[in-house]
Every structure is written in C-alpha cells, then in structure tokens.
Copies of this chain bind each other. A is one copy, B any other.
Amino acid sequence: METLKPIGHIETPFRSKFGIPRQPGIVETPGTVVFEPEYRVAEAVRGLEGFDYIWLLWGFSESAGRGWSPTVRPPRLGGNERMGVFATRSPFRPNPIGLSSVRLREVRQSSPRGPLLIISGADLMDGTPIYDIKPYLPYTDSHPEARSGFATRPAEILLRTECPPELLLRLPAEARESLFEILAHDPRPQYQHDPEREYGMDYGGLNIRFKVCDGVAEITAVTATEK
C-alpha cells in the first residue's frame, strides 16, 4: 500500500469532461501546473527547463473509489467491443492514476504561487491533482515503431469547423485555434452521431454549443459560464 499526496494541480481550459481530447498531445491546449504550498520550492524544478516534454502522473478524480472492471469499452472501438482494462488507458483501473506526456513550454520561477510549469497538450480537466512530474527521456521512453494493437493514431483532421461571425467575436483570440482543433477532432462519443443534436462543452469559461452534420462542426452558441 502506498498513499499518494497531490504535489500540485493543473489549470486547463477544460471545466467539464466533454470536449477533453482523448489523449495528450492531440490538441495544443495551454495548461499550467501549480504546486501545492509545501512543494513551492524553486530548487525542486532546477534543470527541468532543459527538457522539451515532461510526464505527469495524475489522479482520475472522477473515477476514484468507483472500483475497477476487468474489461472496458474503449471509445476508439466505437464503444461496442470489450478490451482488458490493462490494454487500455481507461480511468476505471484498480489504481486510478493517469499518465500523460505534455510539452513543457516554460518554467516560470517568479510567480507569487511558486514555480509554475507552463505546458501544452494536456488532456486533463481543470483542477486535476498531480502526483508526480518526471522528465521525458527519449532514449528510454521513446519507441516510435512500437506496435500498439487496436490503438492506432487517430485520424488527423476529421471535421471542418464553422462559426458565424457574430459568435466568433465572442471567442477570445487565444482560444480560437485550440477550440477549432478540438471540434475538428470530433469530441462526440463515437456511438452518438445524430446530425440534429446540439452538443455543449465548456472551454475556458465559455459554454460552446455545436452541431455536426456532413463533416462540418458548426458552432451554434457561445455563452459565458461561471467558474
């Protein structure tokens, strides 16, 4: 038995599960790792700025305590086929710890909240607890030619994204590119493809409504949400 204590948490634009990319690195969304007061020590991240990527070990807070199942239905397989939980990255595992490699953009030392890690590409909900940060070592962590069973690289761009000009004005400039990329990767569950249905996702304090029809994701509403 081992008890883990969060060393920090991550801040991302994702305030709800819907819309979070299914794997890290798919979309270059911004994120910030904020340390807990006990770990706000400039020394503890010394040398980290020399690494392009870091590993985050994090907690599947939503699935914690909900137990595990020997098989799960990966979204990649359309939600119909069952695979062993250890052959997937499903949250419903015996120990609900997630693993993501993310791009390290900057180690910001001069913040009132201690050192901040400015990252991109995290597939994590805002507020996710972080249990460990490790440097990414390509000579031992990188196996570009490894076979990966049913989990092949997802198609690069699936949908064209459209947004009426009056709604575009409500999207902050820095959020547009990431948001369009998220929609292009089709955040809908793979078994729900109803062209009439309107979906909603939270992104950086905005509620984004959209429909998908004939290969086009069209934004239908943009409203502010409360954090």
| Residue interface mask A34-46, B partner, CB < 8 A = 1 | 0000010101111
Looking at the complex, which one of B52, B135, B149 makes contact with A87 (CB distance below 8 Å)?
Answer: B135
Bound Cα distance A135, B87 (Å): 5
Across the interface, do A138 and B146 meet the contact criterion of CB distance under 8 Å? yes
Cβ contact within 8 Å between A45 and B86? yes
Q: How many identical chains are in the complex?
A: 2
Most chain B beta-carbon contacts within 10 A, residue among A43, A95, A144, A154: A95
Q: In the docked arrangement, what's the CA distance between A45 and B83, Å?
A: 8
**Alpha-carbon distance A145/B88, docked complex (angstroms):** 26
B residues in contact with A5, CB < 8 Å:
1, 94-95
Number of interface residues of A (CB under 8 A): 72
Is A19 in contact with chain B by the CB < 8 A criterion? no
Residues 65-109 of A, flagged 1 when their CB comes within 8 A of B and 0 if not, give: 000001100000000001111111100011111011100000000
- B-contacting 9-mer, from A126-134, A182-190, A206-214, A218-226: A126-134
Q: Are B95 and A140 in contact (CB under 8 A)?
A: no
A and B contact pairs by CB, cutoff 8 A, 25 listed: A2-B59, A2-B97, A26-B140, A39-B94, A44-B86, A45-B87, A46-B83, A48-B84, A48-B87, A49-B149, A52-B147, A52-B148, A53-B146, A57-B57, A57-B97, A89-B137, A97-B131, A101-B140, A135-B148, A135-B149, A136-B148, A137-B151, A138-B144, A141-B142, A141-B143
CB distance from A131 to the nearest CB of B (A): 5
